[in-house]
């Protein structure tokens, strides 16, 4: 990871706070103009107003225009928008680590799935790939640096050829350095490289349209297994045994970790083509989607023997296959062919399709000493058939939509998979009912590695969910409230063993349970002062639920002032943003299986995190400067993101985004 010449900030942060304050005073110029973000499109022939982004979902619903490229500033300094999944995530505390969605999400993916998703947010998913309609060559560049622990670099280019054909590429690199148990903060922790080549075509008569891409992603993580507590990190509570003093685990570079020779690698490749042909105008269109993908997960540890030092050994017992080397691999491949028809009119739209999937899974591990790689399980594979569709009706403020997909099981109808949803909207009110029955993942069913082994026969996970939403724009104020109630049956989770500290394996909850949540979102402004807040309250997934843990409260807020300077040559924002989650028993993490698992011995305290930022926009260039976790040391020296994994300390973050339209 490249060095950054701002290392002294960590020791003297007040210098940067002073600089941010001076910029804030400049932005408070009473001569500032309107509080709207503009680009250079009013002066240049080509700009954001002539460059449009299209996605697969646009082509499937008949949208041939798309939307203009994003040139706003508000999301620029927000870390959760640096990757491709913007949902709140539980991480291991550092950028590029394994992660899982923090809040409840219902699964709608049917059929064979690998079930190793902790690195999903860093790989560009098919729905995230941008296709362009450009009147001139378009170049996108961004560089973010969190000194000295995190870095983002992205370069994209697209251009049209002969008006009907558009091609381009996108390269992205994410990286981070270690903060725990190192003497040099330049020691690499994670590295991600992602390359995508994309193309879009439409015929002269506009009846045929196609878009496709090839993407490859490589993600490497140096796993540390969290902090290894020492005898000096415990206090005697007068009872049998000892009790950890968690406040002693925030020495960062001076701490000791469980793993020093372990790595996780996630490699993904995908080729995808979607094309459609209008048979009878917009009323009847045939389409085909061909998708080939490959995912290889590999965990390697050159010292797999459990550590004898420290309070707790990291692995649950002696290695099962080799004491010399852990080298567990799982490679999943699939090929899908989807064919269907769609159509739309002013009031009605529909889509019907069938899909055939060919899949295979091959697992290998190192055996013996010296270690030799061999297959651990008989290769799995097969063919699966799906059918689904959508139908929607809209008249003025009333709309209704139904959608669903099914994978029948003729041998055992009880194991038929499906998801069905129905949604109705009247004005600012809407409601959705979702029913799902989904088979366990391939990893949940069977695994054989150097440290874990299981073979399960689980039933389908069933969910009945009701969601009600009210949203209203009242001038400059926007208010949204979403209530969700989900009833879960046969829920599958990863559990701990008898020692309460190590992964035991996947388990299926015997009891049914209900979780409910209420999300509130408000956005508004008074003059040039803008504020936005969002919070989610969840019940039924606390410490008394043995299968599912979610913080009772998760929220964020943002307050900033924005305006123009230098005769509207520079547009700026200065403000503060905060994140909060309540006390909860966070999931622990098993790097060799790439799975988060439920635990009940480690409680993470309430976490308020505040950032101070300054954003600026000069024509097509956007920059930001942010002091992240500015409130460190106010309560204690840090906080935990996952048991025994501390989050990053206070740091300076800098970012640059540059868009070229000619």
627 pLDDT above the threshold of 60:
yes
Question: How many Cα atoms within 13 Å fall on the side-chain side of residue 162?
Answer: 5
Band the pLDDT of 244: cuts 50, 70, 90.
confident
- 224: region left, alpha or beta (phi > 0 left; psi from -120 to 50 alpha): alpha
Q: Please state which architecture CATH assigns to domain 7-660.
A: Beta Barrel (2.40)
Question: Which own/partner contact pairs does 123-126 have at CB distance under 8 Å and 24+ positions apart?
Answer: 123/84, 123/194, 123/215, 123/217, 123/219, 123/266, 123/268, 124/84, 124/170, 124/172, 124/194, 124/196, 124/215, 124/217, 125/84, 126/56, 126/213, 126/270, 126/272, 126/291
Percent with pLDDT over 90 in the chain: 64
Please give the Cα distance from 177 to 198 (Å, whole number).
31
Task: Write the pLDDT tens digit of every residue in 322-376.
Answer: 888 999 999 999 999 999 999 988 899 999 999 999 999 999 999 987 778 888 8
Q: How many CB atoms lie within 10 A of CB 381?
A: 14
- Each residue's pLDDT tens digit, 9-26: 333 343 444 444 434 434
**Res 241: pLDDT:** 52
- Greater confidence (497 vs 17) lies with 497
- Find the range with the poorest average confidence among 44-53, 138-147, 568-577: 44-53
Q: Show the tokens assigned to 69.
A: 């490229």
- Say what the pLDDT of residue 101 is: 95
Q: What is the rounded average pLDDT of the residues 263-267?
A: 96
Q: Residue 59: pLDDT above 80? A: yes
User: Is the pLDDT reported for residue 91 higher than 50?
Assistant: yes
Whether residue 133 has pLDDT greater than 70: yes
From residue 536, alpha-carbon distances to 179, 194, 582 in Å are: 31, 33, 11
CB 387 within 8 A of CB 356: no
**pLDDT computed for residue 640 by the predictor:** 94
pLDDT of the residue at 619? 83
- Flag the least confident range among 38-47, 98-107, 359-368: 38-47
The better pLDDT of the pair 17, 618 is held by 618
Q: Which residue has the higher pLDDT, 554 or 232?
A: 554
More confidently predicted of 236 and 202: 202
Q: What are the residue ranges spanned by the domains of the chain?
A: 7-660
| Interval 167-208: pLDDT, tens | 999 999 999 999 998 887 788 899 999 999 999 999 998 899
pLDDT at 646: 94
CB environment 298-325: b (16+ within 10 A), e (fewer):
bbbbeebebbeebeebbbbeebbbbebb
Whole-number pLDDT of residue 35: 33
Q: Is the pLDDT of residue 265 over 60?
A: yes
When pLDDT is cut at 50, 70 and 90, the band that residue 40 belongs to is very low
In the predicted model, what is the mean pLDDT of the chain? 87
The β-bridge relationship of strands 398-407 and 503-508 is: unpaired
Query: What confidence tier does 235 reach under pLDDT thresholds 50, 70, 90?
Result: confident
Tell the residue number behind the tokens 């559990």, with chain if given.
495
- Position 24 scores a pLDDT of 41
Question: DSSP letters of 424-443?
Answer: EEETTEEEEEEEEEEPPPHH
Residues above pLDDT 70, as percent of the chain: 91
């Amino acid at each position: 990871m490249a060095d950054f010449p701002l290392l002294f900030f960590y020791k003297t942060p007040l210098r940067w706070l002073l600089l941010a304050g001076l910029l804030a005073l400049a932005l408070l110029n009473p001569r500032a103009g309107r509080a709207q973000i503009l680009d250079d499109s009013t002066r240049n022939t080509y700009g954001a107003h002539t460059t449009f982004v299209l996605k697969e979902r646009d082509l499937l619903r008949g949208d041939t225009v798309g939307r203009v490229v994003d040139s706003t500033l508000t999301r620029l300094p927000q870390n959760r928008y640096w990757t491709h999944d913007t949902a709140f995530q539980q991480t291991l505390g550092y950028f590029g680590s394994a992660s899982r969605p923090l809040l409840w999400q219902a699964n709608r993916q049917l059929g064979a799935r690998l079930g190793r998703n902790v690195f999903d947010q860093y790989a560009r998913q098919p729905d995230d790939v941008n296709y362009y309609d450009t009147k001139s060559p378009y170049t996108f560049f961004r560089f973010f640096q969190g000194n000295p622990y995190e870095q983002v670099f992205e370069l994209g280019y697209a251009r049209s050829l002969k008006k009907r054909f558009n091609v381009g590429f996108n390269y992205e690199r994410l990286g981070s350095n270690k903060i725990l148990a190192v003497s040099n903060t330049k020691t690499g922790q994670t590295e991600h490289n992602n390359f995508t080549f994309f193309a879009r075509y439409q015929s002269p008569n506009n009846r045929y349209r196609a878009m496709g891409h090839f993407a490859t992603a490589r993600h490497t993580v140096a796993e540390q297994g969290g902090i290894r507590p020492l005898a000096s990190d415990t206090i005697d509570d007068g009872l049998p045994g000892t009790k950890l003093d968690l406040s002693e685990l925030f020495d960062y570079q001076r701490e000791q970790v469980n793993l020093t020779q372990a790595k996780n690698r996630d490699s993904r490749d995908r080729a995808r083509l979607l094309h459609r042909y209008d048979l009878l105008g917009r009323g009847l269109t045939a389409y085909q989607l061909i998708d080939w993908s490959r995912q290889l997960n590999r965990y390697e540890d050159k010292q797999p023997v459990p550590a004898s030092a420290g309070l707790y050994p990291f692995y649950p017992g002696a290695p099962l296959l080799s004491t010399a080397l852990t080298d567990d691999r799982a490679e999943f491949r699939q090929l899908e062919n989807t064919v269907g028809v769609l159509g739309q009119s002013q009031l009605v739209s529909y889509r019907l399709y069938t899909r055939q999937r060919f899949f295979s899974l091959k697992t290998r591990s190192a055996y013996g000493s010296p270690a030799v790689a061999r297959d651990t399980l008989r290769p799995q594979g097969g063919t699966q058939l799906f059918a689904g569709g959508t139908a929607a009706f809209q008249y003025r403020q009333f709309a209704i939509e139904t959608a669903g997909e099914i994978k029948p099981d003729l041998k055992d109808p009880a194991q038929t998979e499906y998801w069905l949803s129905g949604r109705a909207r009247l004005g600012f009110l809407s409601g959705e009912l979702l029913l799902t029955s989904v088979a366990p993942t391939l990893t949940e069913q069977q695994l054989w590695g150097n440290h874990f082994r299981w073979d399960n026969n689980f039933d389908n996970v069933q969910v009945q969910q009701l969601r009600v939403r009210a949203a209203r724009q009242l001038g400059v104020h926007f208010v949204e409230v979403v209530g969700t109630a989900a009833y879960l049956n046969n829920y599958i989770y990863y559990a701990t063993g008898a020692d309460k500290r190590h992964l035991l394996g996947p388990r299926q909850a015997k009891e049914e349970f209900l979780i409910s949540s209420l999300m509130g979102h408000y956005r508004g402004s008074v003059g040039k002062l803008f504020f936005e807040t969002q919070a989610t309250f969840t019940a039924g997934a606390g410490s008394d639920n043995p299968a599912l843990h979610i913080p009772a409260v998760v929220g964020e807020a943002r307050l900033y002032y924005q305006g123009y300077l230098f005769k509207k040559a520079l547009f700026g924002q200065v403000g503060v943003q905060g994140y909060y989650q309540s006390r909860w028993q966070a999931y622990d993490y098993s790097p060799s299986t790439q799975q988060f698992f439920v635990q009940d011995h480690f409680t993470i305290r309430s976490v308020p995190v505040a950032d101070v930022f300054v954003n600026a926009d000069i024509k097509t260039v956007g920059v930001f400067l942010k002091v992240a976790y500015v409130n460190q040391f106010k309560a204690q020296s840090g906080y935990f993101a996952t048991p025994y994994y501390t989050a990053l300390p206070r740091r300076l973050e800098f970012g640059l985004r540059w868009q070229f339209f000619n």
